[in-house]
A = this chain, B = another copy of it.
């Protein structure tokens, strides 16, 4: 009986979280369905959700936290593509689910993250059944396309110092903290450059009073 009450309270919790994040998008009937078939998950920071080459069997709806999406080339060189936040889903996942193809990206929890996993059969069914779901999926594709465009703008048109500053500001937005817990090497991986280059540019940003450097931490002013 204790277990029943416990599980029951988790379910109630989940529908409440769903309503908070997706209540303005979906009708109650759909929220109920999501609640029925979805699996609530809490992901710790730095946990790898999806690895390149993996097949994907379900899609995530973000409740809280943030996920960073990375691209990697054949030599193992990385590049940060974008962050997913509350109310987002992963269009790559959608894409891969529908096409039954392997993941082209890696997804890592940037923060402790709560999400609901939806089995792919359902998401196909819902695109026919719910107009709101369809619009959500389209909007999600749209957002991801726009973010990919932004990434292209960054690497094609901006120099490394500008990219670095934008990267730091994006991190502030996502983590909601001005003191970033990150090493120069980690930044270098995300921006696909070398640690020495990042150290150099960070130093010059510090001289411009835009940031303050500490060990394992960077303070954004």
Cα separation A79 to B148 with both chains bound (whole Å):
14
Given A141-B91, A141-B145, A145-B92, answer yes or no on A153-B73 (Cβ-Cβ < 8 Å): yes
CB atoms of A156 and B157 under 8 A apart: no
Complex copy number for this chain:
2
CB atoms of A145 and B192 under 8 A apart: no
CB atoms of A157 and B104 under 8 A apart: no
Cα separation A92 to B157 with both chains bound (whole Å):
20
Most buried by B among A135, A151, A156: A156
- Which residues of chain A from 150 to 204 have a CB within 8 Å of any chain B CB? 151-153, 155-157, 192
Cα separation A141 to B94 with both chains bound (whole Å):
10
Chain B: CB-nearest residue to A98: B138
CB atoms of A79 and B128 under 8 A apart: no
Chain A window 127-146, contacts with chain B (Cβ cutoff 8 Å), 1 for yes, 0 for no = 11001001101110110111
Most buried by B among A92, A94, A134, A157: A157
- Residues of chain A having any CB pair with chain B under 8 Å: 71, 73, 75, 77, 79, 81, 91-92, 94-95, 98-99, 104-105, 127-128, 131, 134-135, 137-139, 141-142, 144-146, 148-149, 151-153, 155-157, 192
